[in-house]
Chains A and B, each alone.
Chain A
Amino acid sequence: MTFLFYLFAALALFGGMGVVVCRNPVSAALSMILSFLGMASLFIQLDAYLVGTLQVLVYAGAIMVLFLFIIMLLDVPVEEKRRYPLVRFAGAGAVVTAFLVLTTLVLSRGGTAGRTLPTLAAAESGASDVHHIGELLFGTYWLPVQIVGVLLLAATVGVVVLSKKELK
């Protein structure tokens, strides 16, 4: 269990590094897929089967395919070497280090430090997490589901308008 956690966490972090480091956009997109797969494995390790599957299907599948499609369509060139690397890298390094130090401080001070994985109650027959999430989605949260449907429609129409030849 712990070994698998470290394996998948390393996969996710390694993929994330790849996105930042790779100068070729296609390699960056492929590292991103690796990172999303590692994250989906972490979700499944946290017993979030539906969300893990959605992560693979929507993020690693649909969204990244869209990215790759656009990268190849636009024929984005490999990023050339930068002229003023040091200032930007130093700034980014400072911001990121500060963020990591703060995260570590908060995590070591707060009440989350000793929380180990609690055991789940024995599942009743036929009640998976999909079952519970479905009940919540179409029971308590029926209105947000409708709103998200409208949002997707609006996004589709917006994309069609944006992709027209002449923007007015």
Chain B
Amino acid sequence: MELTLNHFLFVSGALFAIGLAGVLVRRNLLILFMCLELMLAAANLTLVAFSRFHLVEGRPAYDAHVLLFFIITVAAAEVAVGLAIIVALFRTKQTTDVTKVNTMKY
């Protein structure tokens, strides 16, 4: 059987669903954050698949790769800031359990 666009889109959809399940089920803030990253990466896979299946002059649409480059950069920045916030939160609450973090200040 030959590979079609649907193969890649389905894998990406399934990865997104797994990430979504993680966000809904887990309580550890760090793991929630990892699941968010998983969802982001699954969306990246869709982007690359569409660019490979939509050729421009016999080449993949490289604009998608440029967009992906930016997404990866922004994700790295976002992870750095998010982890810093989690560390600051841990310093005041001594926990990373989302069910125990239900007030903003104290």
Query: Which residues on A are within 8 Å of B, measured CB to CB?
Result: 1-2, 5, 9, 12-13, 16-17, 19-20, 25, 28-29, 32, 35-36, 39, 42-43, 46-48, 50-51, 54-55, 58-59, 62-63, 66-67, 70-71, 73-74, 76, 79, 82, 88-89, 91-93, 95-96, 99-100, 103-104, 107, 112-118, 120-121, 129, 132-133, 136-137, 141, 144, 148, 151-152, 154-156, 158-159, 162-163, 167
Contact = CB atoms under 8 A, between A and B. Distances in A.
A132 B17 CA distance: 33
A99 B3 contact: no
A163 B18 CA distance: 31
Contacts of A32: 34, 37-38
Given A74-B96, A115-B4, A96 B30 contact: no
B73 interface: yes
B35 to A, nearest CB: 6
- Main secondary structure on B side of the interface with A: helix
23 contacts: A13-B18, A17-B18, A25-B28, A43-B45, A47-B52, A48-B65, A58-B75, A59-B41, A63-B79, A66-B80, A76-B28, A79-B28, A113-B4, A116-B2, A117-B52, A117-B53, A132-B62, A148-B70, A148-B73, A151-B73, A152-B76, A152-B77, A159-B81
Q: How large is the interface on B (under 10, 10 to 19, 20 to 34, 35 or more residues)?
A: 35 or more
